[in-house]
Amino acid sequence: MQAVRPKKALGQHFLTDQSVAQAIVASLQSRGPVLEVGPGTGVLTQYLLRDPEIALKVVELDGESVRYLLEHYPALAPNLYEADFLKLDLHKLFPERFAVIGNFPYNISSQIFFKILDYREQVPEVVCMIQKEVAERMAAGPGSKTYGILSVLMQAWYDIEYLFTVGEGAFLPPPKVKSAVIRLTRNERGALGCDEELFKRVVKTTFNQRRKTIRNSLKPILATLPKLPAYIPYLDARPEQLSVEEFVELTLAL
């Protein structure tokens, strides 16, 4: 079978540098059940299959890639799912805990992370390659210009490590941006201790108007309260100054 054609509509840029592929797989510390998202032509898959301690399942949307994988890695057949990861019920695939690995399509990487958050009690670790700019944003701390919605919502539940940068030449076709590999490790937080939906709303509302003070950006939320709390912290700060814990405090006050 001929090589798979990268499809622009699916955001496909196939990793061709084997040393980078090996480094990504070596970054995965978990063993046992592992889900690879978007294996494409199997550049990571081949190394994952070699580890006897990994019980691998893969999910791939592209039918051409699925046929290629079945031809080159027939052992995958019972554990290859031709499906949209964003629409999968992962509880059916994994009744217990599982790690996630993959070269995520850059156009839907944020959606993939939000999906992982929905299964955070089952996913202790994620190793993935994403756009460098998104990786920097996720790993950024308070006070950084790149610190934002994704940083706070992911860091509430995961410790995030920026592992290494990958140049454009490692892919076919080369993307127009640099890439980076990050590792997410589930932290020990069992609950936020506040209304999680309101927490998300507060984070998104404030960062969507990040040049404003929190007092000004939260006016729509404050207007819905039957009675204003006696004290609301951090109203004169800007959202990029607040840690996860401080956003929790702010949400509790509301």
Share of the chain above pLDDT 90, in %: 85
Residue 176 has pLDDT above 50, yes or no: yes
180 lies in some domain: yes
191 lies in some domain: no
Query: 215 and 241 share a domain?
Result: yes
Residue 204 has pLDDT above 50, yes or no: yes
Query: 43 and 154 share a domain?
Result: yes
Residue 2 has pLDDT above 50, yes or no: no
Mean model confidence pLDDT for the chain: 93
131 lies in some domain: yes
Q: What's the average model confidence in pLDDT over 23-42?
A: 96
Beta strands in 6-87 (DSSP E): 14-15, 32-37, 54-60, 80-82
2 lies in some domain: no
Which of 158, 186, 214 finishes a domain? 186
Which of 166, 186, 206 finishes a domain? 186
**Higher-pLDDT residue of 57, 3:** 57
Residue 34 has pLDDT above 80, yes or no: yes
Per-residue pLDDT at 229:
86
Per-residue pLDDT at 1:
41
Bond preceding residue 78 cis, omega within 30 of 0:
no
In this prediction, residue 12 has a pLDDT band, given cuts at 50, 70 and 90, of low
- Span 74-96, pLDDT tens digits: 999 999 999 999 999 999 999 99
Query: 101 and 140 share a domain?
Result: yes
Query: 52 and 171 share a domain?
Result: yes
Out of 18-22, 52-56, 218-222, 240-244, which region has the weakest mean confidence (pLDDT)?
218-222
Segments forming the whole domain that contains residue 141: 8-186
Query: 21 and 109 share a domain?
Result: yes
Q: Is 54 helix (H, G, I), strand (E, B) or coil?
A: strand
Per-residue pLDDT at 190:
93
Query: 95 and 214 share a domain?
Result: no
Residue 11 has pLDDT above 60, yes or no: no
Q: What's the average model confidence in pLDDT over 217-245?
A: 92
Query: 177 and 215 share a domain?
Result: no
> Cα–Cα distance between 205 and 232 in angstroms, integer?
16
Query: 145 and 233 share a domain?
Result: no
**Higher-pLDDT residue of 17, 174:** 17
> Cα–Cα distance between 65 and 209 in angstroms, integer?
41
Which domain CATH number covers 230?
Answer: 1.10.8
> Cα–Cα distance between 113 and 109 in angstroms, integer?
6
Which domain CATH number covers 77?
Answer: 3.40.50.150
Which of 138, 161, 186 finishes a domain? 186
